[in-house]
Amino acid sequence: MSHPPAESRCQHKDAANRQCRMPRISKFISLCPTHARQALRPLEASRDLSQELLGPISDFRTAAAINHALGRIFVLLAANRISSNQAAVLTYVCQLMLQSLKRVKLELIDVTDDKWRDAELFRVIKSLPQLSPELGATKA
């Protein structure tokens, strides 16, 4: 099996200082596709998507807030902005929050009066983004 000339090979070296034998992506990039992806992983992992994921939501006391977060997870996954593993973990956490929501509401009913509960409900509804008619896009 013939390998590309040394000058056109990937510049990645393993722990034993052996050079990768795969061809480089281009003459301007010194790595093969596999090692280029590996080099980008730490950069992708460091992106903070929390603001994009949560938007205006400050807490998860309503099913609507959790549903909004699930929708954002779907959008980020479809756009390849998060991995399927990250999406699976986030949706599992949302599932747990939905399961505990009934207990949280019962606690709120036990310790609060009607005036506070109405104010809290209004605050949560006001914090949710408004949907525009075109394909469910949100207005800022």
Q: State the residue range of the domain holding 57.
A: 50-127
Contact 128, 64 (CB under 8 A): yes
Domain count, the chain: 2
The distance from CA 94 to its chain's CA centroid, rounded to whole angstroms, is 13
Contact 10, 35 (CB under 8 A): yes
Statement to judge: residues 39 and 74 lie in one domain: no
Indicate the average pLDDT of the chain.
Answer: 78
pLDDT of 85 reads 92
Contact 138, 131 (CB under 8 A): yes
Beta carbons within 8 Å of 115's beta carbon, 6+ residues apart: none
Say yes or no to pLDDT of 35 above 80: yes
Statement to judge: residues 55 and 37 lie in one domain: no
Give me the helix-helix angle, 114-127 and 84-111, nearest 10°: 160
Does 69 fall in a domain? Answer: yes
Statement to judge: residues 87 and 121 lie in one domain: yes
Listed ranges 39-43, 61-65, 78-82, 95-99; the one with the highest mean pLDDT:
95-99
Statement to judge: residues 95 and 29 lie in one domain: no
The least confident of 16-25, 54-63, 69-78, 126-135 is: 126-135
Of 103 and 75, the structure prediction assigns the larger pLDDT to 75
Compute the distance between CA of residue 12 and CA of residue 15 in angstroms, rounded to an integer. Answer: 10
H or E element in which residue 44 lies: helix 33-45
Of 99 and 104, the structure prediction assigns the larger pLDDT to 99
Statement to judge: residues 12 and 73 lie in one domain: no
pLDDT of 45 reads 54
Say yes or no to pLDDT of 34 above 60: yes
Contact 10, 24 (CB under 8 A): yes
